[in-house]
Amino acid sequence: MVRRPVAWVVAVVLFAEALGFAAVNWLLGEVVHRQRMSLAGLDSNMMSTSSKIAGVVFGLYLALCALVALLVAVRGRRPAGFGRGLLVSAAVVHALLGAFAWGLVGWAAFLFMIVVLALIVLLLMTYDPQAEPRDGASAGGPQGGGPAPAAPPAEPTAP
């Protein structure tokens, strides 16, 4: 099916995005540090350090989202609990970044953010909880992996 390849693609894209985001923020922090730029009297060392910290923290967040997608791809099961919430938050972040990118950077960045958003939403929506076997039941049975049918009720005996 299409579920596992989508999960692999999401994992690869999010890992690449995590590395790219961290690298760009680190580079911007170095530029601010070396040029001794200041914004409204703020300390350039503080701006440089905060840019680097923000890049690393957001990069780790995206890497954690990519790890959840990687686990989905390897296990073949839908994300649940914390992982699902993390992927939903990543989808919201990409929607917001896409909106900001349209106005600040241009349509290409907007398109990239929307494609990543679509991949994350596709990953979240393709794993249907009703289609998965429950309680260790095998999916090879004639009923499609559902529980075994119950025995008919016994007839009441006369007293």
3 — pLDDT class (breaks 50, 70, 90): confident
Residue 118 near residue 95 (C-beta atoms within 8 A): no
Q: Looking at the predicted structure, is the pLDDT value of residue 78 above 80?
A: yes
Predicted TM-score (pTM) of the model is: 0.73
Distance CA 118, CA 132 (A): 23
Distance CA 135, CA 111 (A): 42
The token duo for 68 is: 């959840």
